[in-house]
Structure formats: C-alpha cells, structure tokens
Amino acid sequence: MNFDFNEKQLMVIKNAKEYTEKYLAPGVIERDETSTYPIDAYRKLGELGFVGLPYSSEYGGSDAGYLEYVLAVEEIAKVDASMAISYSVATSLYAGPIAGFGTEEQKKKYLPPVLSGKSLGAFNLTEPNAGSDAAGVITRAEKKGDRYILNGLKCFSTNGPLADYFFVVASTNPELKTKGLSGFIVEKAFPGVSIGKIENKMGIRSAQVSEVIFDNVEVPAENLILEEGKGFMLAMKTLDSGRMGVAAQGLGIAEGAFEIAKNYLKTREQFGKPLYKNQYLAFKMAELEMQIEQAKLLLYKAACDKDTGKPYTISAAKAKYACTNAAMDVTTAAVQMLGGNGYMREYHVERMMRDAKITQIYEGTNEIQKLVISGGLFR
Amino acid sequence: MKSVKVNQNNLNDYSDIWVIGELNDGKIHPVTVELIGKGKELINNLTGKKLNVIIIGYGVQNSAEKLLHYGVDKVLYVEHNLLKSFNTDYYVKAITDLIEDRKPEIVMMGSTYTMKDIGPRIAARLGTGLISDCTELEIDSSDGKLIQTKVSFGGNLLSSAICPNNRPQMVTVKPGVMNKAERSEEASGKIELVIPKLSENDTRLNLILKEVLEKKQVNLDKAKIVVSGGRGLKEAAGFDLIRELAEVLNGEVGASRVPIEAGWIDSSHQVGQTGVTVKPDLYIACGISGAIQHQAGMYQSKYIVAINKDPNAPIFKICDYGIVGDLYEVIPQLIESIKEKRMF
Amino acid sequence: MIRSNMRIIVCIKQVPDTNEFKIDLETGIMIREGLPCVMNPDDKNALEEALRLKDEYNAEVIALTMGPLQAKDVLKEAMAMGADEVILINDLSFAGSDSLATAAILAAAIERIGHYDMILCGMQAMDGNTGQTGPQLAELLNIPQITYLKELNIIDNTVTATKWTESEKYTFKLNMPVLLTVNNELNDPRIPTMMGVMKAYDEAGEKKIKVWGANDLDIDIEQVGIKGSVTNIYESCLTHINRVSTIIEGEDEKEMAKSLAMKLSELNLI
C-alpha cells in the first residue's frame, strides 16, 4: 500500500493551486455577492487541460485519471466552491456518460468543445417531481423517424444557463418507469431548447443553476447514448462518478476553511495570548483535522477504485458522505472560531459554510448515500 | 577548450583601490560618493595604497573635477565620443583595458543596473572574481585581503567571500548602504585624462533610442517596497503624502480597508485578506491599526515599519520598527531624510 | 519575417524556495527543513519569453541547467511548459563552482549544443543573488548581451531590444546570436497544460532528459568546481529574522523619523 502521490499528481496539485490563485482567488467574494460566473476562468481551466483530466487525448482530454481530476477539484474548491461544482458537472456529469458509453462519433463531436473549455456542459435529470426518485421523470422523448421529439422541463441544472451541450435523461417509454428512461446529448442550438428560471441560491452563488425547457426539440437519433431504456443506468453510473467530484468539492471547502481558521487562531490574540493556546480550540482543530483526513482517504480510495477498474459505487458514496459532512462541520466550526469576524464576508468562511450545505444535498443527498451503502451491505 | 582566462600574475603587481564612478545626465550618482567614503575607510587599513576614481563618458572633465572635493588621490576620466551613451561593449572594453594597464588591487562599483551589466563581464574578461550586491566590506588585517559580505537566500543568509588568488578583487555595492564621503570646499588630488582605444568595430550594439524613464509601473504584489495608508490619514489628501513617500522609495502605494471604503483611493490598492497579498522587502504602514484582515495581506513582508498615533495599535506587535506619533509630522521628515541619503 | 529554424537556449537553475521560509511561532527561528526546490523565478520568466517566441515564430527551445540529479525536476517543469529539449549538466567535479566557473561550464555545454540564435537567462537567482552568470556567459561565448530586457522584437536575424536602467530606457538593434537577461517584470509565466504535465513527468519525459558530465564537455576541470573558482565563501551565517518590535524613541517626530531613516539605510532597504 502506498500513500504517496506520484510526480504527475504533485504537479496537478501544484498547477491547480497556481491556477486557482491566479484566476479564481481575485474577486471570489464579489462573484458570490453578485452571482457572477467567471466564464474566462472556466475557459482557462479547459485550455490548461483540467476539464479533460480523466479522458483520452483523442477527445481533447489529458490522459490522466480520476484521482488527478479529484485532486484538481479539491484544490479549486479550497478557494472557489462554485467553480469546483461547475467544473465537476462539466467533467463528470456531462462528459462522463459520453466518454464512458458514447459512440466514437459522439465522443469526437461532443467531448472536445467542453473539455477544451470553449463550451460548458450540463446534466439534466432532476425535475420538479423527480428528485432522489428518478422514476418520477416525465420529460418525454418520442421517436419520429430518425429523430426523437423532446418535451419537458428540467430543474436545478448546474451550468444550465451557460451550457452549449446537455446530457438529458428522458422517458422513451413511460409505462416502463425507470426502465423506460434513455440518455441523449442535446445541443443548446437545437430549436426549442430554452432556459427557464435562474435560481437564486443560498450558496455556490457564482455557479449558474437554472431550469432547462425542451419544447418540441428535434434530437437526431444518433444522439441517443447506448439504446433506449439505458437512461437510468447511465444516470446512476454518471452520478457515481459525479459524487467524487462533489466529494472533492466538499473536501476542498473543508480544507480551505480549516486553513483560514488555523491562521486566525495563530494570529488572533485574546486575553493576552493567541487563540490556539486555548485547549478547547486546539482540540477542536485536532478533531477537524482527523475528520478531514478520514474523508480524504475515502475519496482518494474511491478515485483509485475507479482508476483501477474496480467497482466504485459504494466507495464513491462513502467518500461523498464523509467529505461533504466534513465540509459542513469544518465550516460551521470555522465561523464559530472566527467569532464576529467569521460572520463577515471578507473572512470567507461564512461563504464556505453556505457553499458547504449544498454538497450534502446534490448528486444524491447524504441520506441517499446511506441507502446506497446499506443496500450494498444487505444485498 | 573553453578556458576561463584566470589571471595568475604576481599579486604584488596590483595596488590601489578604484571606484568606478557613475554619472547620470552629468550628475554624479550618490553611490559613487558612498563608495569613495568606503574606499577611504579601506585604505586606512592598507599601507601605501591610493584611492582613485574612474569615470567614463564624453565631456566628463567637469564631473572629474567635482570629485576632487571628496579627498581622493586621483580621478581618471576616460573620454571618448563613443562613450557618450551606455554601451556594454564600449564600456567593458574601456574599463577592462584600463584595469589591465594600471592593475588596481580592488575595484568597487555601485550595484546599479549599468554596473551589474558590465561588472560581471569585465570580471570574466579579466578572469577574476566579483562579489555582487555587497553590504559590508572590510580588510582582513592578517593578509590584507578584502572580505566582502552580502545578504542572500531571500535575506535569510549573510555570507562573506574572498577572492584569494586573483586580482583585482571586484565588488558591486548596494546603493544607500555605505556612508558618503564628506565634501570639502578644497579640491585635492589630481585628475588624469585617459583616451581609450575604441572604434566602432568594438561593438555589436546599435543604439536606436534612448529615453528618460517615466515612473515605473510596478504591480503592488511584485513591489519591493510598499507604503500603505489607513484610517489615520483622515482624508483623501493624505494619500498625496503616502504617494510622495512611495515615490522617493521607488515603491508602490497600498491601503487598508477604511480608505478604500471611504473612496480616498481606488480599491486596486487594497492590501489584506480582501485585496492583494504583498511580500515586499519593506512595508510601511502609516495610520493603519493593523486589523487581522490587513495583517493577513502583509505579515510576510521582510521588514515592517509602523507609524501610528495609538501606542496600543496591534500593528506595533508585528512590526520591526514602530514610531508612535503623528504621521503628518513623521512622514515629511522621513522623506527629507531619505532624499538626503540618496542625493547630494 | 523570421528564420524558421530559430533556436533558443534558456539557462535555468533550481533553487530552494526562499519564499517558503517559515518562522517557528514559539522560538522565532527559521524552519529550514523540507524547503521545497523550485525553478528560479527570473529563469521562469526567461523560459516564458522563449516559449512566447516558440508560439510566435516556431522557435526551438532548449532548457539547460546545471545541478544535482534532483535538478531534473526543473527540466521536467520546463518540458511541461513547452521546452523541446532539456539538458542537465551534472558532475561531482562541478559542485561548488562560483559564477564565473558556472558560466564556463554552461559555455562549454552551449558549444556542444552547437548552433543557437539566442540565450535567455534570468537576471538573478533568488538563492545566491549574484546576477552574474548571464553577462559572464555572454563574455565567454563572445556574444553581445542585453540585460534587464523589457521589450523584444525580431526581424530576420536582427533583434530590437529595449532594456531599462534605474532611470533610462535604451533600445538597441543587434544581430543574433545574443544573450538576454530578464526578470519578473517582462511577462507572466504560463501554467503548463495537464497534457504537458502528463508527458513530461512520464518515463518518456525522464528519458528525454540529456545528462552531460565533465567528460561530455570540452572543459578544463581545473578551472571549475570549488578548486577552480576564483571566489571562496569565507563564512556564512543566518541573518536574524526573528521579528522583534522596536519602538523608535525620540524627542519629537522629526527625530524619530531621522532615526528610522538611519535604520532603514543600515538595513539596506532604502
């Protein structure tokens, strides 16, 4: 067993850090306040090959693996959780099903624009009546000749308002419930695709999340991934991987807040001594440090499972659960440790706390993760 | 075979201390007078050596005469119309030829961009050693060798070096470190005109434009010196003073949060948790109390100076030097003192 | 127009990252352990300038360093950023070389490389701070130099280069080959692409590193290394960097300001 990063991984971390400092740290507070997405920073992320980290260079990827990708998301989330999720959605949720199950033509056509950072990609599964329960999907894809006619409304689509490409799960056979779901690649440019309400959120405010509406959209049949009825499987497999992105986001948020708290405890003096000399605070930090490390090991293990071809559904669920809970616990504690300052925007931790909350919710709530893990136990 | 022409002549052939003087638009560079000051100190510890100043250019006799007021033994002025403007090739050749001809034991130059350009090249042509950016020079009383001390490793290491077997011992010295030689009304010493052997074939450089530099545009985060103002300035006009100090120091202007929010200065100047993180060699905090979010953006500065009326301001806990007083009294005097050190 | 086969050599050095010095909170003593090594910052700007010329004119970029085997790290970084060829000069007999000896070794390596049009160097290394290697290398190769480069244009074989001094700006025209030194004011070094990283830090990347020792170079080893260096370190010690707050006393503000100016001057800060 080897717990050391190799040189490539160390360089991914180093360069992701440099990218983050240069392109994301400036203005992170303002972007949160104004809900502004830094599209140029995303383009740069693509140009530098981060978006394509786990994919083949044949399709504009960087020939690395999921661990490398997870490390990059983690590094970015230490500073900007909004970009971390936008990135994760593009890489895991949009590109994932295409790279994993698409045809050669689909991969050649639909991966490079997103992996290179020229376009954003999004994932459309959730509907107003289909959250954790995908069987509630009512968006319909009816086959007419060599195309499908798509009708319906998707919600909570991260990157939705900015994306040029969508992975959409729709029903080709409502009677079959989840077995009647199918996955499609849909272009924003197809007539009938429009953006609905753009959400005003508690956290990840710089990320753009919206409804996406399909009104008699003609989708060429060759944009169906695999065959009809494979949509549910595609969505679940995709979310298994996506959860590692969310886990990395949560881990990064936790580490970012931890670092701020640590520096604060070292420099802030009350009652004539630095705060860290209060054992209550020092011990609390020890606990958080352990929680972060536990979460980290679960995440890296899950990524290694995927990279080495092992099953990773359960390990990804564990990682997502541990990392996102660490995010919530650490940020909440950090706000408390920074006292009044912690509640103020310029100290970052209040934003991180708001950002942390969603990580426990999306891409499978943490209750769903327990369902996945326990399901594995008693199968 | 690539051979460094190491000069191994009889070390006893070399005598005298030279200062390679520098002229800026006909005016003598302050570092030249500082080097003369140090040179006089050094010859006090060496018997039978003389202190000479070399200046090069075209029409520099006047400057040479001015330098006789600083108590040097001789000023050699190297005159040639090809030396009118800076040119690495001509300058290196003129000085190297003169050194080979007259054999000084020690050659001192200022650590200016001009001397850092030609100094190493001259040393390489002579096959001798050069220690750059020195902050201390002394003569080893046991063997008369020059001990040259400099700060390296990002300011963390002080190291001394010698050049034991080669001559001359060459050194560039940081401006503003050594004490200036006193000027006396009486001129003493001799001046000597040197005409170097130069022709246009000696250069590969063709000067097509020479301009005087406007103030440099340096980013706050790359600045070597940052002067920041805070609440204690009381009004926007206070930044005029901060700017003036920054200008004298060739530094950049920073600010804490209060002036930004009050609109006294543009937010691009903000140093702190919000804003830019700076790591200059010198950070001067004027009227800044030192709230922790400000500290986060500057505590890694090599040296921190704080000027504040309130003796209990937290900034005094993290500074190297503090002045408890009115910045409107302190800064003008500081500017004057710095100017005095720089000009004459 | 530009010749299509322009070849640029960039000299880079691996240095301890002096920005990463940390101070022990309890003792105020500098922590030296685990100090990471990085590409010298000015050298990275030199590499960036070369890569800019590569992007613009399709120039070939060769990165050259001298150091222990560990210095392969900076060559891999250079490869990841886009250097076409990388060379490590490594020989025990080269250890302890001063700047002139280093320049002599680099000159020998460059002569072995053969044809080149341009050499780019950082102005100063952040460990030794000598700032001499560039000009001395130019002298030993007998080529012209422009230090403190601020602007660069190339037409055919002719370089138009603007350099700064403290107070003036000079623009020279000259023919290649030429040696240029640069610092961080010139450009903003690129972050390597992940593809670049994957290739450079691969086994294939490792194999691309040429390692040249004393036997590969036409050089008199008596003139390099500690023995051949003309300057010797006499002694060295750590500077006192524990931050002791000194409040400057004085009759009035004027007196305090004067003492402060003296202090700053002694510290070589003004």
- pLDDT tens digits, C99-129: 999 999 999 999 999 999 999 999 998 877 7
What the block records as the tokens of A306 is 């995927």
- Give chain A positions within 8 Å (CB) of C202: 8
Q: Looking at this protein, which amino acid is placed at residue A204?
A: I
CB contact under 8 A, C194 and A57: no
Tell me how many domains chain C contains: 1
Instruction: Give a yes or no: residue C90 inside a domain.
Output: yes
pLDDT in tens, B266-292: 877 888 766 677 888 899 999 998 887
CB contact under 8 A, A346 and B293: yes
- Interface probe for A, chosen from C48, C70, C198 (most Cβ of A below 10 Å), is C198
Any C CB within 8 A of A22 CB = yes
Percent of chain B with pLDDT over 70: 92
What does residue B217 show for φ and ψ, rounded to 5 degrees? Answer: -95, 100
Residue B2 has pLDDT above 90, yes or no: no
Instruction: Give a yes or no: residue C261 inside a domain.
Output: no
Per-residue model confidence (pLDDT) at position C241: 46
Nearest-by-Cβ selection for C100 from B124, B331, B340: B124
Mean pLDDT along residues A196-221: 98
Q: By three-state DSSP, how is residue C237 classified?
A: strand
If we measure between CA atoms, which residue out of A358, A24, A323 comes closest to residue A201? A358
pLDDT in tens, A306-324: 999 999 999 999 999 999 9
Confidence band, pLDDT 50/70/90 cuts, at residue C242:
low
Residue B219 has pLDDT above 90, yes or no: no
Of A218, A269, A363, A367, which one is the catalytic site residue? Answer: A363
If DSSP states are collapsed to H, E and C, what string results for chain A?
A: CCCCCCHHHHHHHHHHHHHHHHHHCCCHHHHHHHCCCCHHHHHHHHHCCCCCCCCCHHHCCCCCCHHHHHHHHHHHHCCCHHHHHHHHHHHHHHHHHHHHHCCHHHHHHHCHHHHCCCCEEEEECCECCECCCHHHCCCEEEEECCEEEEEEEEEEEECCCCEEEEEEEEECCHHHHHHHEEEEEEECCCCCEEEEEECCCCCCCCCCEEEEEEEEEEEEHHHEECCCCCHHHHHHHHHHHHHHHHHHHHHHHHHHHHHHHHHHHHHCEECCEEHHHCHHHHHHHHHHHHHHHHHHHHHHHHHHHHHCCCCCHHHHHHHHHHHHHHHHHHHHHHHHHCHHHHCCHHHCHHHHHHHHHHHCCCCCCHHHHHHHHHHHHCC
- Give chain C positions within 8 Å (CB) of B337: 257-258, 260-262
Q: Compute the nearest-CA separation of A17 from chain C (Å).
A: 10
Confidence band, pLDDT 50/70/90 cuts, at residue B344:
very low
**Is A350 annotated as catalytic?**
no
Residue of chain C minimizing CA distance to A53? C194
Residue B209 has pLDDT above 80, yes or no: yes
Per-residue model confidence (pLDDT) at position C28: 46
Any B CB within 8 A of A262 CB = no
Confidence band, pLDDT 50/70/90 cuts, at residue C233:
confident
Instruction: Give a yes or no: residue C180 inside a domain.
Output: yes
Mean pLDDT along residues C17-32: 57
Per-residue model confidence (pLDDT) at position B215: 55
- Give chain B positions within 8 Å (CB) of C107: 2
Mean pLDDT along residues C83-107: 95
DSSP C178: E
More confident residue, B47 or A20: A20
Structural domains of chain A, ranges and CATH numbers in brackets: 7-119 (1.10.540.10), 121-228 (2.40.110.10), 233-377 (1.20.140.10)
Residue B45 has pLDDT above 60, yes or no: yes
pLDDT in tens, B75-131: 999 999 999 999 999 999 999 999 999 999 999 999 999 999 999 999 999 999 999
Q: Compute the nearest-CA separation of C54 from chain B (Å).
A: 24
More confident residue, C112 or B298: C112
Instruction: Give a yes or no: residue C265 inside a domain.
Output: no
Least confident range from A32-36, A337-341, A373-377, C259-263: namely: C259-263
CB contact under 8 A, C223 and B3: yes
Give the number of other CB atoms < 10 A from CB of residue B251.
23
Q: Compute the nearest-CA separation of B274 from chain A (Å).
A: 6
Q: Among positive and negative, which fits the CA dihedral A342, A346, A347, A348?
A: positive
DSSP B13: G
Chain C, window 133-152: residues with a beta carbon less than 8 angstroms from a chain B beta carbon: 133-136, 138-140, 143-148
Least confident range from A331-345, B45-59, C69-83: namely: B45-59
The range of the structural domain enclosing residue C78 comes to 7-228
What is the rounded radius of gyration, in angstroms, for the C-alpha atoms of chain B? Answer: 23
Instruction: Give a yes or no: residue C210 inside a domain.
Output: yes
Highest mean pLDDT among B228-237, C25-34, C190-199: C190-199
Contact A86, A120 (CB under 8 A): yes
If we measure between CA atoms, which residue out of A189, A120, A201 comes closest to residue A156? A201
CATH number of C16's domain:
3.40.50.620
For residues C192 and C39, give the distance between their C-alpha atoms in angstroms, rounded to a whole number. 13
Nearest-by-Cβ selection for A347 from B273, B295, B299: B273
Residue C224 has pLDDT above 60, yes or no: yes
Chain C, window 213-252: residues with a beta carbon less than 8 angstroms from a chain B beta carbon: 217-220, 223-224, 228-239, 241, 243-248, 252
Q: Compute the nearest-CA separation of A303 from chain B (Å).
A: 34
Highest mean pLDDT among B206-210, B338-342, C166-170: B206-210
pLDDT in tens, A130-170: 988 888 999 999 999 999 999 999 999 999 999 999 999 99
Q: Compute the nearest-CA separation of B46 from chain C (Å).
A: 20
CB contact under 8 A, C231 and B161: yes
Any B CB within 8 A of A104 CB = no
Q: Return the partners of chain C (3 or more C-beta pairs < 8 Å).
A: A, B
Confidence band, pLDDT 50/70/90 cuts, at residue C236:
low
- Interface probe for A, chosen from B267, B268, B270, B273 (most Cβ of A below 10 Å), is B273
Please state, rounded to an integer, the average pLDDT across all residues of chain C: 89
Locus of tokens 């070794």: C105
Planar angle of CA A208, A209, A215, nearest 5 degrees: 120
Please state, rounded to an integer, the average pLDDT across all residues of chain A: 96
CB contact under 8 A, C252 and B329: yes
- Interface probe for C, chosen from A5, A15, A87, A267 (most Cβ of C below 10 Å), is A15
Instruction: Give a yes or no: residue C246 inside a domain.
Output: no
Q: Return the partners of chain A (3 or more C-beta pairs < 8 Å).
A: B, C
Residue of chain A minimizing CA distance to C197? A8
Any C CB within 8 A of B86 CB = yes
Structural domains of chain B, ranges and CATH numbers in brackets: 11-202 (3.40.50.620), 220-342 (3.40.50.1220)
Instruction: Give a yes or no: residue C181 inside a domain.
Output: yes
pLDDT in tens, B175-200: 777 888 999 999 999 999 999 999 99
More confident residue, B15 or C79: C79
Any A CB within 8 A of C70 CB = no
Instruction: Give a yes or no: residue C218 inside a domain.
Output: yes
CB contact under 8 A, A341 and B293: yes
ipTM of the complex: 0.91
More confident residue, C48 or B162: C48
pLDDT in tens, C158-168: 999 999 988 88
pLDDT in tens, A244-261: 999 999 999 999 999 999
Per-residue model confidence (pLDDT) at position C239: 55
